[in-house]
Amino acid sequence: MDTMLEARLQTQQRNTQNSQETSLWSSGFGMKLEAVTPFLGKYRPFVGRCCQTCTPKSWESLFHRSIMDLGFCNVVLVKEENTRLQNVISGRVPGGAGEGQVPGLVKKEVQRILGHIQAPIHPFLLRLFSWALLRFLNCVFLNVQLHKGQMKMVHKASQAQGLPLVLLSTHKSLLDGILLPFVLLSQGLGVLRVVWDSRTCSPTLRALLKKLGGLFLPPEANLTLDSPEGVLARAVVHAAMEQLLVSRQPLLIFLEEHPGAQGPRLSALGQTWLGLVVQAVQVGVIPDAMLVPVAITYDLVPDAPCDVYHALAPLGLWTGALAVLRSLRGWGHSPRVCVRVHLAQPFSLQEYTINARSCWGSRQTLEQLLQPIVLGQCTIVPDTEKEQEWTPATGPLLAFKEEDQLLVRRLSRHVLNASVTSSAVMSTAIMATLLLFKHQKGVFLSQLLGEFSWLTEETLLRGFDVGFSGQLRCLVQHTLSLLRAHVALLRVHQGDLLVVPRPGPGLTHLARLSAELLPAFLSEAVGACAVRGLLAGRVPPEGPWELQGIELLSQNELYRQILLLLHLLPQDLLLLQPCQSSYCYCQEVLDRLIQCGLLVAEETPGSRPACDTGRQRLSAKLLWKPSGDFTDSDSDNFEEAEGRYFRLSQQSRCPDFFLFLCRLLSPLLKAFVQAATFLHRGQLPDTESGYTEQLLQFLQATAQEEGSFECADRNLAISAIWTFRDLGVLQQMPSPAGPMLYLSPTFTSRENQEKLEQFIWQFICS
């Protein structure tokens, strides 16, 4: 890795330009070399273990500690022998939808639908494409890293169990569908069948991708349940999936929406294909399937044409070719990015299906949970979970029973949680977080070097891996070079450099990059904002830290504030495991605040010290029970926490760290506040897209006035609108022109709108 980074530095130095600012990027900064070693002890943290609650047998049997000793391989350095295809195309391509005599017209229609789904893999075309892709990757990417231990774990699971592999991945770039199959083919996993979205590909590109192993859902499969064309299309899709799984061809499904999609994070198409796998196991077509969470991360996501993600402009061969030429032309004039591919621990679908159903409990809508508290009509948080599903059920999934639809939705969220937590944090995410939330007005390079190392260490201590290693100066220089469009370097006295984020829309880009780091600090960020909400009514936000540290915080009060914030934040952001109750997560948040030193226990007069367990008698309440196995009576156990109190720590580092954690959630929370402010200004009724455009323009105008460009993001506007709809602030009603948004009668009064603003503001630390 050190050699790789030195080569990266040399590449940048060869391409220096004459301008003064450009010379600063490639001058090496003139700083003393210092090594940053992102390891805990001797080894990196091994991430990606499966859920011990839902899949305990897989957790124990499908993991081998020896794989932790293996290092990384650079996939773009593979030889031609790694991609030869004599033995990698296994199984057979489904050739029909059933046996027996079929009327000619029906048979012809079945063949047409099957031709839309897939085509026979073309070995020569696949090998030619792999050869060209390898050369393209070597030009565009500095390296594509894959942990050899993770690959060995997947190989062993596949060989030992003799079951089909279903890889469920995040989706960061349109390149993912090409890059991941190549990576896994070069490592001997075989040719992957990749699920593609028809909306992102032209007919010509679809024809090519099908010959390379692509799968597409026919448009007829999305027709209504009583449509004969829809029934036939769904039957053909089921048959094709069943034969593909029986042939044990590995399958790749993207659980996130394609990049640039405006809407929910979880992909409706991905859930549909995962549902077909679940149903194949349930009806006994195959005894089981091995699910593998996959993630891919980039220093920077490769650029794409502006109209690639537009629904009316699918990516075609010419558009793709132009994008390739543009990337090759830029090679040598801009630093190349690094890529990490992550394979989490495989687990049994059958085992998950059996165990997951026991974790289901009662749920209520956000309006039932939160609206009475927002309006001051109630102070008690209901002892139940939040039901919030933004991804609609479409296509074949609608034909499933309601219980099976719920199983697929929760499995999707569970797997996406595993993929995100196993993703490595790249250097650009760490740098963007530091510049946006700690040094938006600028920071000296000498200080930035130390803070980059500090945040790297904090990330590793939380069990998240990082996608880099090497000399600290080289890392920081490479990262700043990648962000040069959004960062300015100014030379100051004594030879130091001042790093300043460029004001304007570039801050929005930094906010998107920093979101990749949020999962590592999410629990502490939620806890810090909850503490801020608890202190909001007692201590002025601008008051000294010592004054805030005087306040006693009871454990019950902390639980309540954490629950309120958990209900307010979208599920697409939290990605909590469905098997984990909110009360369990509250305790996890509290534990994290204590572990990081922000909270210290405070013994109240007359109470037994928390560490004094000598006289405590064990009772039935203390017997072990499965995690998340809570009933209504279990909430009584939290009454024992009434005598437990905490204070904010007075250590010198705590005020800055507390503010840093609060700011991690500030872009979303500030967007929510501005959306609440906009309620009495917006023009309603309006369509969802129309009101989104109204709100986005308001966020952009506010950003120009206040400098809060990190909030001026379309996805944040959509999250605010959907959250307000779930909360009962906005109502959606049918109309001849389509669904229309109306302001709820409850929130037409300015008084209730201000209550909503105040409720959200309490969690924001200015």
Answer yes or no: are the C-beta atoms of 309 and 259 closer than 8 Å: yes
- Taking only the tens place, the pLDDT of each residue in 650-692 is 888 888 999 999 999 999 999 999 999 999 999 999 999 999 9
**Site of tokens 């959630």:** 665
Per the domain annotation, does 293 fall within a domain? no
Residue 439, amino acid: H
Q: Which residue has the higher pLDDT, 332 or 296?
A: 296
What tokens were used for 50? 């499966």
Report the CATH number that the domain containing residue 448 is assigned in CATH.
3.30.420
What tokens were used for 533? 């909400």
Task: Tell me the average pLDDT of the chain.
Answer: 83
Per the domain annotation, does 447 fall within a domain? yes
What tokens were used for 486? 């959004």
**Site of tokens 């450099």:** 497
Residue 353, amino acid: T
- Alpha carbon distances (Å) from 462 to 451, 466, 590, 596: 17, 11, 15, 10
Answer yes or no: are the C-beta atoms of 292 and 168 closer than 8 Å: yes
Q: Which residue has the higher pLDDT, 561 or 547?
A: 561
Checking 220-229 for CB contacts under 8 A at 24+ apart, the result is 220/113, 221/395, 221/396, 222/394, 222/395, 225/398, 225/399
pLDDT on residue 47: 84
pLDDT on residue 702: 95
Please state, in angstroms and rounded to a whole number, the distance separating the CA atoms of residues 237 and 273. Answer: 9
Per this entry, what is the length of the chain? Answer: 766
Report phi then psi at 340, rounded to 5: -125, 130
Per the domain annotation, does 495 fall within a domain? yes
CA Rg value for the chain: 27
- DSSP reduced 3-state for 226: coil
422 DSSP 8-state letter: H
β-sheet bridge partners, residue 315:
201
Q: What is the mean pLDDT of residues 26-36?
A: 45
Cβ neighbours for 258, distance < 8 A, ≥ 6 positions apart: 171, 174, 197, 199, 200, 267, 309
Report phi then psi at 396, rounded to 5: -60, -25
**% of the chain beyond a pLDDT of 70:** 80
Report the CATH number that the domain containing residue 711 is assigned in CATH.
1.10.10
Checking 454-460 for CB contacts under 8 A at 24+ apart, the result is 455/430, 456/36, 456/38, 456/430, 457/38, 458/521, 459/425, 459/430, 459/517, 459/520, 460/38, 460/39, 460/40, 460/44, 460/45
Positive/negative CA dihedral, 160, 166, 167, 169: negative
**Boundary residue ending a domain (449, 469, 504):** 504
- Alpha carbon distances (Å) from 498 to 151, 491, 544, 656: 42, 6, 29, 21
Helices (H), 118-264: 123-140, 148-161, 176-186, 203-211, 228-246
Per the domain annotation, does 498 fall within a domain? yes
- Taking only the tens place, the pLDDT of each residue in 689-724 is 999 999 999 999 999 999 889 999 999 999 999 999
Per the domain annotation, does 285 fall within a domain? no
> Band of the pLDDT at 638, cuts 50, 70, 90?
very low
Answer yes or no: are the C-beta atoms of 291 and 346 closer than 8 Å: yes
Please state, in angstroms and rounded to a whole number, the distance separating the CA atoms of residues 433 and 421. Answer: 18
Per the domain annotation, does 589 fall within a domain? no
- Taking only the tens place, the pLDDT of each residue in 466-478 is 988 888 888 999 9
Boundaries of domain holding 686: 666-762
315 DSSP 8-state letter: B
Strands (E) located in 344-469: 347-348, 363-364, 385-386, 443-444
Number of domains in the chain: 2
What tokens were used for 482? 């990648």
> Band of the pLDDT at 90, cuts 50, 70, 90?
very low
> Band of the pLDDT at 40, cuts 50, 70, 90?
very low
What tokens were used for 25? 């990027």
Cβ neighbours for 760, distance < 8 A, ≥ 6 positions apart: 568, 669, 672, 673, 676
Cβ neighbours for 83, distance < 8 A, ≥ 6 positions apart: 127, 130, 131, 134, 182, 185, 186
**Boundary residue ending a domain (489, 504, 519):** 504
What tokens were used for 627? 């995690």
**Boundary residue ending a domain (504, 519, 553):** 504
Q: Which residue has the higher pLDDT, 467 or 44?
A: 467
Per the domain annotation, does 469 fall within a domain? yes
Residue 731, amino acid: Q
The answer to whether the bond into 685 is cis (omega within 30° of 0) is yes
DSSP for 693-749, written as a single string: HHHHHHHHHHHHHH--GGG--HHHHHHHHHHHHHHTSEEEE--TTS-EEEE-GGGSS
pLDDT on residue 93: 44
- Taking only the tens place, the pLDDT of each residue in 309-324 is 344 456 666 566 666 6
Residue 445 buriedness (CB in 10 A; 0-12 / 13-18 / 19+) = buried
Q: What is the mean pLDDT of residues 635-645?
A: 59
- Helix/strand/coil (H/E/C) assignment for every residue in 460-473: HHCCCCECCCEEHH
Q: What is the mean pLDDT of residues 94-100?
A: 45
Answer yes or no: are the C-beta atoms of 752 and 371 closer than 8 Å: no
- Taking only the tens place, the pLDDT of each residue in 608-632 is 555 554 444 444 443 344 444 444 4
DSSP for 600-639, written as a single string: EEEPPTTSPPTT--TTPPP-GGGS---TT---GGGGGGGG
Per the domain annotation, does 455 fall within a domain? yes
Nearest residue to 113 (alpha-carbon basis) of 285, 236, 288 = 236
pLDDT of 729 above 70? yes
Side-chain-side CA neighbours of residue 743 (13 Å): 17
Q: What is the mean pLDDT of residues 355-376?
A: 87
β-sheet bridge partners, residue 601:
646
The helix (H) or strand (E) run that includes residue 660 is helix 654-664
- Taking only the tens place, the pLDDT of each residue in 218-276 is 999 888 888 888 899 999 999 999 999 999 999 999 999 987 777 789 999 999 999 99
